DNA sequence: TTGCTAAGTCTGTCAACTAGACTTAGGATT
DNA sequence: AATCCTAAGTCTAGTTGACAGACTTAGCAA
């Protein structure tokens, strides 16, 4: 068949797949995009993404249930108390995923004007980007420089 | 309302959204996972992911049409010539996205045994990871250190 | 008690996914 | 030349989920 060692291993405990069960869906990514842009309220999210309200409701609940967002009460003058949605630490840790989408999209799928947002280092204002690096400090140029090897969770197919 | 500047801007040319139109779907991620693991053939991908054949067919066509994969003929002894699917440069550039999923999944959604695969630098064997860095060389610890600002494609809502 | 608003829920319609069986096409075998 | 073999793909029928648009809720204010 093929020379890929990975064919001999089971996929059932794949961590990529596990991550996808939570966040592997278009609207969920857009909810997270809004959250990272500091958009926190149901109406704002619905208006900015154009997603069906029912789906937004569903996705917000899911993300709260799994600890990526938390509900925080707020109060506008003359209004009753309502809830907004903020990223937890666990949610914040998805930032590289969104940055990866942003970078790839900006390179291959942007309108001619360029990206809608850019990312700056809060402390120095310089542009932020993702880099692949190894523990010895080398910077890797591409996926070609990476060798996937079986990890501790790898199980041979019986 | 809220203090997010982004509320005043149009989302229609968002590059994240553009990227998601191509790759923002569970099965597509899994096809790419297999491709990065050097799994290149229809039967192997179908067997390893468990995805419906029709969807695999559909996703492969989509990825080829958009230039993320290319079809390459191969020939097993005693068999007719068939096609396998390999990543193009454009496809390779999605690697950080998969690594981001892998890292997040390993941290928050792994089985107790740990991840199925690990990534090594081909040249030195050290573990590979994603880092957020700014153009001045500072390493950023989290999304909190990043300020999103309007990019060249930003358009105020009329 | 009526109005206002953000945040949701309800309804019917329609497109997408799914499992499983079936088809295809070229090389090898008889 | 007829038949078998296999990887790759297509077909069918049933089910799930997305979708648009209208409706409901709950607390505050007048």
Q: Residue A12's CB: how many other CB atoms inside 10 A?
A: 12
Nucleotide nearest the Cα atom of B28 (by C1'): C17
* CB B79 within 7 Å, strand D: yes
**Of A80, A99, A129, which Cα lies nearest the Cα of A37?**
A99
Residue A158's pLDDT is what? Answer: 66
User: What is the distance of C-alpha B6 from the center of its chain?
Assistant: 26
Verify whether the Cβ–Cβ distance B105 to A15 is below 8 Å: yes
* CB B102 within 7 Å, strand D: no
Which one has a higher pLDDT value, A141 or B77? A141
Q: Can you tell me the distance from the alpha carbon of B104 to that of A150, in angstroms, rounded to the nearest whole number? A: 18
| Chain B residues closer than 8 Å to A110 by CB | 13, 15, 18, 153
Helix (H, G, I), strand (E, B) or coil at A152: coil
Dihedral, A109, A115, A117, A121 alpha carbons, nearest 10:
100
pLDDT tens string B13-32: 899 999 999 999 999 999 99
| Chain A residues closer than 8 Å to B25 by CB | 24-26
pTM for this structure? 0.94
* CB B65 within 7 Å, strand D: no
Residue A12's pLDDT is what? Answer: 86
Nucleotide nearest the Cα atom of B77 (by C1'): C27
Q: Does residue B158 register a pLDDT over 70?
A: no
Which helix or strand (DSSP H or E) is residue A100 part of? Answer: helix A95-108
Helix (H, G, I), strand (E, B) or coil at A62: helix
| Chain B residues closer than 8 Å to A152 by CB | 113-115
Verify whether the Cβ–Cβ distance B95 to A143 is below 8 Å: yes
Verify whether the Cβ–Cβ distance B29 to A16 is below 8 Å: yes
B36 with A122: CB under 8 angstroms?
no
| Chain A residues closer than 8 Å to B148 by CB | 36-37, 117-120
Q: Chain A interface, mutation test: which of B14, B85, B87, B118, most A Cβ atoms within 10 Å? A: B14
Residue A3's pLDDT is what? Answer: 63
| DSSP characters over chain B | ----GGGGB--TT-HHHHHHHHH-BHHHHHHHHHHHTT---HHHHHHHH---HHHHHHHHHHHHHTTSEEEEEEE-TTS-EEEEEEE-HHHHTTHHHHHHHHHHHHHHS--TT--SEEEEETTT-PBEEEEEEETTSPEE-SGGGEEEEE-TT--B--
Q: Can you tell me the distance from the alpha carbon of A141 to that of B32, in angstroms, rounded to the nearest whole number? A: 19
pLDDT tens string B66-125: 999 999 999 988 888 999 999 999 999 999 999 999 999 999 987 778 888 999 999 999
């Amino acid at each position: 068949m093929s020379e890929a060692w990975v064919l001999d291993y089971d996929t059932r405990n794949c961590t990529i797949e596990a991550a996808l069960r939570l966040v592997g869906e278009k609207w969920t990514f857009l909810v997270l995009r809004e959250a990272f842009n500091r958009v926190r309220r149901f109406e704002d999210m619905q208006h900015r993404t154009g997603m069906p309200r029912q789906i937004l409701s569903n996705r917000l609940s899911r993300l709260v249930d799994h600890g990526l967002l938390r509900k925080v009460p707020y109060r506008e003058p003359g209004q009753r108390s309502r809830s907004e949605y903020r990223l937890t630490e666990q949610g914040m840790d998805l930032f590289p995923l969104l940055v990866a989408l942003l970078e790839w999209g900006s390179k291959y799928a942007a309108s001619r004007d360029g990206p809608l947002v850019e990312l700056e280092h809060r402390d120095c204002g310089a542009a932020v980007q993702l880099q692949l690096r190894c523990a010895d400090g080398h910077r890797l140029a591409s996926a070609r420089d990476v060798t996937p090897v079986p990890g501790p969770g790898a199980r041979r197919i019986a």
